[in-house]
Amino acid sequence: MTDPTAFLGLRTAKYSAADLAAAREWYRRVLGYGPYFDEPFYVGFNVGGYELGIVPEEGAALDRPESGGLAYWGVADADAAYARLLGLGAAGHEAIADVGGGIRIGAVRDPFGNILGIIENPAFRLPGQE
């Protein structure tokens, strides 16, 4: 029997924005599709079976600390994804770096102050990508 308290895997990475409508549209452009859940209190995107959620936060600062943790979203090409995010209006936060084993990570700050990590990891593949 499975331990009912065991972690089952990542489900949701939650971000906040003072302007929820603008954040929804920016992430729609980043992802190339709209949210599956869209309410005034929460916008949720299904990203490869995981959720990227955005909540409205009236005083969400544009220059927030990283102290709350950082989610890294998988990409096939870290350099290309980083450049694309910058082209869509994100600001560089953590330049792409090789951390060993073919793993490359970096992070940007979205236009709403959230830190969005990206990771190219050859060990992690979705089913059918082997």
**Is-same-fold flag (9-58; 71-130)?**
no
Say yes or no to pLDDT of 111 above 60.
yes
Regarding predicted confidence, which is higher, 24 or 69?
24
Say yes or no to pLDDT of 66 above 60.
yes
- Length of the chain equals 130
Q: What is the DSSP letter of 95?
A: E
Residue 4 has what pLDDT?
Answer: 72
Query: Cα separation of 122 and 130, whole Å?
Result: 10
Whose tokens are 């082997």? That residue is 130
Domain boundaries, the chain: 9-58, 71-130
pTM above 0.85, yes or no: no
Regarding predicted confidence, which is higher, 67 or 38?
38
Query: Cα separation of 118 and 64, whole Å?
Result: 18
Q: Average per-residue pLDDT in the chain? A: 89
Residue pLDDT, tens place only, 67-85: 667 889 999 999 999 999 9
CB-based contact 51:13 (threshold 8 Å)? yes
CATH number of 71-130: 3.10.180.10
In the Cβ-directed half-sphere of 6, how many Cα atoms lie within 13 Å? 5
Say yes or no to pLDDT of 129 above 80.
no
Query: Domain 9-58 class?
Result: alpha beta
Which residue type, as a one-letter code, is found at position 105? I
In the Cβ-directed half-sphere of 92, how many Cα atoms lie within 13 Å? 7
